[in-house]
């Protein structure tokens, strides 16, 4: 991991919704966007609150029509995280959103480019100290013809890059657009340059990070369904974050936006860019030694831990004792499954041996009790982590060990 790039810091929010920093010394923020209509106020509020409960720091809403910006006045008092208005084509929507008390505006240079209109938005935001994200999505700028001159100049700079043509357009568009902001002495800016192509995303953000000191909002646009979108998103975002680039992220899926929040947070947790909230689940992939329904158990454990546990304890769910003890080193709580049963360990100490149908319930009881102990200061996370000993395989579990032992004995002795 490279140290994070130094950027200006932008702060969005207010007392009622909390303040979220983007860039500077602020942790990388996770954001997402509602999928429903903003004018359907109750549904929109419910969706935002569900995302906030999942851990979203910031939520964006679409405001294509006046009825959407009108709804903001009723939505904002009923949600607890800063809200961003996503504005395209109609600069008036940005002005209306600012009047309604929105916390940040997103403008697309590809479809709001009249200088006077942009200046009106900037002035409205400046008066209320509201930041603006300038989002130059590949799709919305690629056909523009007025960038030809700058593109020719930049063409040389990017001649050794297969995405050079596109990078030249993106940089040229950004330079031109940011000039309007600089003329108005406005610097509460966040930049994004999304593409569907992970390679373009990496190249574009790298180039932008070297040219501007504004915080960067990372994302892959139209990444597709979660099943394939995860890799399409996480590869470039992970690459950039490991290079110290990126101050807020949005993973976008054609699915429930809560997945975007969960996966965005997990990405930041595994990279050590955010302190984990809630349990970390380790689970084996299963193999031919398995003697319980581990897939179901892992999913049930995951859902319950996400609902109940707020302390960042490590929980391991292992299909057998073969690799289990070694692989779950560091787990505060571990279960090793055997022949339709499971042994549960809490910080290296065996606390139960229960039949399969009781594993989930007992494991959760142990997790809840351990959480309380941690909160009371009677236990420390990660302590005694290397003391998990393999359970007595034959006596306690009668599991995969028996098969292995049997086969091993059957092998001819090599002299
Ligand atoms: S822990 Fe056991 S069941 Fe799970 S993958 Fe490893 S050997 Fe297979």
Candidate of 283, 289, 342 to mutate for ligand 1, largest count of ligand atoms within 8 Å of Cβ: 289
Give the Å distance between the CA of 187 and the centre of ligand 1.
54
The predicted pLDDT at position 94 comes to: 98
The predicted pLDDT at position 386 comes to: 44
Q: Does residue 306 share a domain with residue 229?
A: no
Quick check: 286 and 257 in contact, CB under 8 A? no
Q: Stretch 168-195: mean pLDDT, rounded?
A: 93
Which ligand 1 atom sits closest to the C-alpha of 290? Answer: 3
Q: Average pLDDT of the chain? A: 89
275 in any annotated domain: no
Q: Stretch 135-164: mean pLDDT, rounded?
A: 66
Q: Does residue 188 share a domain with residue 73?
A: yes
Per-residue pLDDT tens over the stretch 35-78:
999 999 999 999 999 999 999 999 999 999 999 999 999 999 99
1 in any annotated domain: no
Q: Does residue 260 share a domain with residue 299?
A: no
Q: Does residue 105 share a domain with residue 34?
A: yes
Q: Does residue 243 share a domain with residue 141?
A: yes
Which ligand 1 atom sits closest to the C-alpha of 327? Answer: 1
Closest CA to 32 of 251, 255, 265: 251
The predicted pLDDT at position 398 comes to: 53
The predicted pLDDT at position 159 comes to: 72
Statement: residue 12 has pLDDT above 70: yes
Query: Above pLDDT 70, what percent of the chain?
Result: 86
Give the Å distance between the CA of 308 and the centre of ligand 1.
27
Ligand 1, CB cutoff 6 Å, lining residues = 284-287, 289-290, 318-320, 322-324
Domain count, the chain: 2
| Alpha carbon distance 330, 386 (integer Å) | 6
The predicted pLDDT at position 349 comes to: 86
Q: Does residue 88 share a domain with residue 46?
A: yes
Q: Does residue 241 share a domain with residue 220?
A: yes
Quick check: 321 and 394 in contact, CB under 8 A? no
Q: Does residue 199 share a domain with residue 285?
A: no
Give the Å distance between the CA of 407 and the centre of ligand 1.
17
413 in any annotated domain: no
Give the Å distance between the CA of 328 and the centre of ligand 1.
11
Per-residue pLDDT tens over the stretch 333-358:
999 998 899 999 998 888 999 999 99
Give the Å distance between the CA of 400 and the centre of ligand 1.
9
Q: Does residue 204 share a domain with residue 228?
A: yes
| Alpha carbon distance 286, 95 (integer Å) | 55
Domain boundary residue among 270, 302, 331?
A: 270
Domain boundary residue among 270, 298, 321?
A: 270
77 in any annotated domain: yes
218 in any annotated domain: yes
| Alpha carbon distance 122, 118 (integer Å) | 6
Cβ-Cβ contacts under 8 Å for 405 (sequence gap 6 or more): 393, 394
Q: Stretch 15-37: mean pLDDT, rounded?
A: 97
Q: Stretch 85-106: mean pLDDT, rounded?
A: 97
SS3 for 141? Answer: helix
Q: Does residue 332 share a domain with residue 313?
A: yes
Residue with CA at minimum distance from ligand 1 atom 3: 319
SS3 for 247? Answer: coil
317 in any annotated domain: yes
Q: Exposed (0-12), middle (13-18) or buried (19+): which is 386, by Cβ within 10 Å?
A: exposed
Which ligand 1 atom sits closest to the C-alpha of 400? Answer: 2
Statement: residue 206 has pLDDT above 60: yes
Q: Which domain holds residue 42?
A: 9-270
51 in any annotated domain: yes
Residue 328 confidence class, pLDDT cut points 50, 70, 90: low
Residue with CA at minimum distance from ligand 1 atom 6: 323
194 in any annotated domain: yes
CATH value at residue 306: 3.30.413.10
Could you list the beta-strand ranges (E) of 108-206: 132-135, 189-192
CB burial readout 178-202, b (16+ within 10 A) else e: bebbeeeebebbbbbbbbebbebbb
> The tokens of 351 are what?
């606390």
Give the Å distance between the CA of 289 and the centre of ligand 1.
6
Statement: residue 151 has pLDDT above 70: no
The predicted pLDDT at position 153 comes to: 66
Q: Does residue 289 share a domain with residue 259?
A: no
> The tokens of 325 are what?
């003890």
CATH value at residue 110: 3.20.20.20
Q: Does residue 359 share a domain with residue 244?
A: no
Enter the DSSP assignment of 195. Answer: B
Quick check: 131 and 125 in contact, CB under 8 A? yes
> Looking at 198-202, 243-247, 306-310, 321-325, which range is the least confident one?
321-325
Give the Å distance between the CA of 380 and the centre of ligand 1.
28
Domain boundary residue among 220, 246, 270?
A: 270
């Amino acid at each position: 991991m490279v140290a994070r790039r130094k950027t200006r810091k932008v702060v969005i929010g207010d007392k009622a919704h909390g303040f979220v920093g983007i860039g500077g010394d602020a942790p990388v923020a996770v954001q997402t966007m509602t999928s429903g209509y903003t004018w359907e106020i109750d549904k929109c509020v419910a969706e935002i609150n569900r995302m906030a409960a999942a851990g979203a720091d910031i939520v964006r809403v679409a405001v294509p029509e006046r009825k959407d910006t009108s709804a903001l006045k009723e939505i904002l008092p009923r949600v607890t995280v800063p809200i961003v208005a996503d504005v395209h084509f109609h600069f008036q929507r940005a002005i209306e959103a600012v009047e309604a008390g929105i916390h940040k505006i997103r403008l697309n240079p590809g479809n709001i480019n009249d200088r006077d209109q942009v200046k009106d938005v900037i002035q409205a935001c400046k008066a209320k100290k509201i930041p603006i994200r300038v989002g130059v999505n590949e799709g919305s700028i690629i056909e523009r013809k007025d960038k030809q001159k700058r593109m020719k100049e930049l063409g040389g700079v990017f001649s050794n890059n297969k995405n050079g043509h596109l990078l030249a357009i993106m940089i040229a568009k950004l330079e031109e657009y940011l000039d309007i902001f600089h003329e108005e002495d406005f610097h509460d800016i966040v930049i994004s340059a999304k593409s569907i192509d992970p390679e373009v995303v990496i190249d574009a953000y790298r180039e932008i990070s070297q040219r501007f000191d504004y915080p960067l909002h990372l994302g892959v646009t139209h990444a597709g369904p979660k099943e394939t979108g995860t890799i399409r998103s996480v590869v470039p975002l992970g690459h950039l974050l490991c290079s110290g680039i990126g101050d807020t992220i949005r993973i976008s899926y054609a699915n429930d936006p809560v997945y975007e929040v969960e996966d965005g947070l997990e990405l930041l947790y595994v990279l050590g860019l955010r302190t984990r909230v809630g349990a970390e689940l380790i689970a084996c992939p299963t193999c031919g030694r398995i003697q319980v329904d581990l897939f179901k158990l892992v999913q049930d454990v995951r859902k319950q831990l996400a609902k109940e546990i707020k302390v960042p304890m490590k929980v391991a769910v292992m299909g057998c004792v073969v690799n289990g003890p070694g692989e779950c080193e560091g787990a505060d709580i571990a279960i090793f499954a055997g022949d339709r049963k499971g042994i549960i360990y809490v910080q290296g100490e065996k606390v139960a041996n229960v039949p399969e149908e009781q594993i989930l319930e007992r494991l959760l009881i142990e997790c809840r009790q351990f959480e309380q102990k941690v909160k009371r200061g009677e236990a420390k996370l990660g302590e005694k982590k290397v003391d998990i000993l393999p359970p007595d395989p034959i006596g306690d579990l009668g599991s995969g060990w028996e098969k292995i032992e049997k086969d091993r004995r059957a092998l001819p002795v090599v002299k």
